[in-house]
Amino acid sequence: MRNPTLSDVAKAAGVSYATADRVVNSRGNVADKSIRKVQAAMEALGYVRDIAAANLSRGRVYRLAFLLPSGPNAFFAKMRAALSNLAAHLSAERVDIQIVDIAAFSHQGLRAALADIEVPGLDGIAIVGLSGASLQQPLADLRDKGVSVVSLVSDLRADERDAYVGINNLAAGRTAARLLGMAHSGRAGAVLTLAGSLDAEDHIQRLNGFRDVIKADFPHLTILDPILAKDDEAAVFDGMVERFKANDQITAVYNVGAGNQGLVRALEAIAPDPAPLCVVHELVAHSRAALESGLIHFIIDQRPDIEAARAVTILRALIDGRSKPPMPELVPMIYVPDNLPAHTDPAHTDIHTGKAPLHD
């Protein structure tokens, strides 16, 4: 049995094909009575609108903007690369993806970018969320204009966005606590924590989840106040050196954000004995090298390539007026030296730069 066509809908509704087309594609200038007739015919016939064909006939282009933190953050560098690959792949499907750089952890920078976004005919936007009231109005203004908003990696309030794409950051922090707690095997110790900013919802949630599990299940461990380093390598290095000089009881380190090159350099410079257990986030070149060398012990990775693809898919669905596609929960991967994926580049990677060495 063939699927009903728009002509079938028009005939059943007793209206012209043009009228049915205007109703189905929300083009306006149709009497309420005719709209009700067409909608009733669609339901009775089980008609499903062919969105791809409709977009093609209208020359529809999906214009998407991704606002990503600038700077030497290897995780977001991977996400940029994934988005660039997606943009090239999806250009034939009339998807235009633009990446807008903003200052990391900056309310002012993000607010200004949201207010001044210059993508003509913008349909959807993805941003790395920050907490606080300063973003509510620019986000509301965008949504009032029909722009779909997705929070990416770090969530916004539920009433500020249409969807969230990322891992459960509270669970990620709890997982880190479980790993470090079990690794201590009942021994007392102090855990040094690091975060980029307490304005970043993902960092807040990871720290909260970490604290909850340590307090409940590993009370013999003390959690030290976090070093807030803006994910800056130099600030992480300086903060680590200062804390280890002031406290010789540190047995573990948990970094909820980036700046792990500074963490590795600090551990090498301090050379504490015994070496602290270390959990960090995101499998990038330098964190992988540190895991392989034994300077860190666990990596919790959230796959930025998958997040980028999901954000594009969800934005397209929202723009088309469809419900969000069903997707399994994005569960992060926990890496130890034994389960690392194969190198994409067989060249040796320098532990500090994350780059292959130069050869004559």
CATH 1.10.260.40 residue ranges of the chain are 6-47
The residue written with tokens 């669609």 in the block is 42
The tokens describing 275, both together, are 């070496």
Q: Would you write out the chain's pLDDT as a tens digit for each of its 360 residues?
A: 577 887 888 888 998 888 987 887 766 778 888 899 988 988 888 877 766 555 555 556 889 999 999 888 899 999 999 999 999 999 888 899 999 999 888 888 898 888 888 767 899 999 999 987 788 889 998 998 889 999 999 999 999 999 999 999 999 999 999 999 999 999 999 999 999 999 999 999 999 999 999 999 999 999 999 999 999 999 999 999 999 999 999 999 999 999 999 999 999 999 999 999 999 999 999 999 999 999 999 999 999 999 999 999 999 999 888 888 889 999 999 999 999 999 765 444 444 444 444 333
Contact predicate 192/267, CB 8 Å: no
Which positions ≥6 away from 325 have C-beta within 8 Å? 313, 314, 317
The tokens describing 223, both together, are 């959690």
* Residue 82, amino acid: A
Contact predicate 125/139, CB 8 Å: no
Which burial class, exposed, middle or buried, applies to 161 when counting CB atoms under 10 A from its CB (0-12, 13-18, 19+)? buried
For residues 261 and 280, what is the distance between their CA atoms, to the nearest angstrom? 11
Least Cα distance to 55 among 28, 29, 92, 11 occurs for: 92
Contact predicate 52/138, CB 8 Å: no
> What pLDDT, on the 0 to 100 scale, is given for residue 44?
87
Task: Indicate the Cα dihedral angle 301, 78, 117, 161, nearest 10°.
Answer: -20
> What order of strands is seen across the sheet that includes strand 62-69?
95-102, 62-69, 124-127, 148-152, 163-165
| Fold category of 58-166+305-327 in CATH | Rossmann fold (3.40.50)
> Would you say the C-alpha torsion 312, 313, 314, 320 has a positive or negative sign?
positive
> What pLDDT, on the 0 to 100 scale, is given for residue 354?
45
The residue written with tokens 């988005």 in the block is 83
Give, rounded to a whole angstrom, the gap between the first and last alpha carbons of the chain: 68
The tokens describing 310, both together, are 């999901």
Return the bridge partners of 163, or none.
150
CA dist 163 → 58, 156, 301 (Å): 27, 9, 21
Q: Provide φ and ψ at 117, rounded to 5°.
A: -55, 130
How does DSSP classify residue 160?
G
Task: Indicate the Cα dihedral angle 187, 336, 296, 303, nearest 10°.
Answer: -120
| Fold category of 169-301 in CATH | Rossmann fold (3.40.50)
> What pLDDT, on the 0 to 100 scale, is given for residue 352?
45
Q: Which CATH class is domain 6-47?
A: mainly alpha
CATH 3.40.50.2300 residue ranges of the chain are 58-166+305-327, 169-301
Pairing of strands 298-301, 333-335: antiparallel
Q: Provide φ and ψ at 320, rounded to 5°.
A: -80, 0
